[in-house]
Amino acid sequence: HPPTSQMEETSLLRRANCRSKGAAPGFKVAILGAAGGIGQPLAMLMKINPLVSVLHLYDVVNAPGVTADVSHMNTGAVVRGFLGQPQLENALTGMDLVIIPAGVPRKPGMTRDDLFNINAGIVKTLCEGVAKCCPKAIVNLISNPVNSTVPIAAEVFKRAGTFDPRRLLGVTTLDVVRANTFVAEVIGLDPRDVNVPVVGGHAGVTILPLLSQVNPPCSFTPDEISHLTNRIQNGGTEVVEAKAGAGSATLSMAYAAAKFADACLHGLRGDAGVVECSFVASQVTELPFFATKVQLGRNGVEEVLPLGPLNEFERAGLEKAKKELAVSIEKGVSFVKK
């Protein structure tokens, strides 16, 4: 791949020497689908993350251009580009964290499940690469439908004998980011000071905001609860319709993905008290996968946290969410099995 020259390797060595003189070591991060609507701004945000020492940008198109562009930012991470399937293994070898936003996005009128046929195959291929080249890496899966692509990834890893449920995380952070913003609007707070747990999954009714557990504690009228729940569940569709055929959320998603990846890196570094919502292998419900708050650490998910007390409205929402989730999970599992 063009950007890796002798000169760059020398500079890598020089930087490694500098780091050993006291600076914290960084992590190696790959983005698969790095030239896409999410991938590009996400590449930029990961390039400015001080915990990243090496950033690999892989895509089947335009990876060299995005790499050249991002590599000129005078931040710490060394950026390398990888174009097309023959370079997938080099892109993945040695990575600590692999972020996957590869695949097609929604157009107006489509559900996330309508993306299944294309994205399932892409995720399967990319995860086979992860199993082979960096089986210990933490995987952040963004490609939709997340409710099915996470089970697909798990099946691929099981087949390869590398599945570690702590290391596979479906990214639902955008639902939390939206919930924080929309709730802050209603209660008149700074969105940075609001934290809304969002559990279940990442599509329609499976997105279950727990408004009874908002931090700081606050109460809502029944109308506010219905408006907020509806807006949070349909936030993605709001963007798809506003973009009118040009795709789905990319900028807010890149922000959310960068926030989640940063939390994973802080966990890997051994920081205490890193908690985010994520769609993971779980025993919180009878379903094999479910999104709740998880505690992140050196191995990825150190602990899947319980749902906490739900009110009647949320309990009813949970039942609806579980019904739809069961179907989406099964669809992912049987895609790999057949």
Is position 34 annotated in a ligand binding site?
Answer: yes
Q: How far is the C-alpha of 308 from the C-alpha of 314, rounded, in Å?
A: 11
H helices present in 78-220, as ranges? 88-92, 116-133, 146-160, 173-187
- Is there binding between residue 49 and ligand NAI (CB under 6 A)? no
According to the annotation, is 245 in a ligand binding site?
no
Q: Where are the alpha helices (DSSP H) in 134-250?
A: 146-160, 173-187, 222-233, 235-243
For residues 131-160, which are near ligand NAI according to CB under 6 A? 142-144, 146
Helix 312-337 / helix 116-133 crossing angle, nearest 10 deg: 70
Closest to ligand NAI by CB, 212 vs 248, is 248
Query: What is the Cα–Cα distance from 209 to 211, expressed in whole angstroms?
Result: 6
Mark whether 56 is an active-site residue: no
C-alpha to C-alpha distance for 148 and 170, rounded to whole angstroms: 10
Which is closer to ligand NAI, CB of 86 or CB of 188?
86
> For ligand NAI, what does the binding mask look like between residues 167 and 206, x meaning CB under 6 A?
----x--x---------------------------x----
99 binds ligand NAI (CB under 6 A): no
Among residues 56, 202, 227, 266, the one annotated as catalytic is 202
Cα(323)–Cα(206) distance, integer angstroms: 9
Which of 39, 81, 151, 332 binds ligand NAI (CB under 6 A)? It is: 39
Residue of closest CB approach to ligand NAI: 36
Strand partners for 263: none
- Give me the residues that bind ligand NAI (CB under 6 A), please: 32-33, 35-39, 59-61, 101-106, 115, 119, 122, 125-126, 142-144, 146, 171, 174, 202, 247-250, 253
Active-site positions? 202
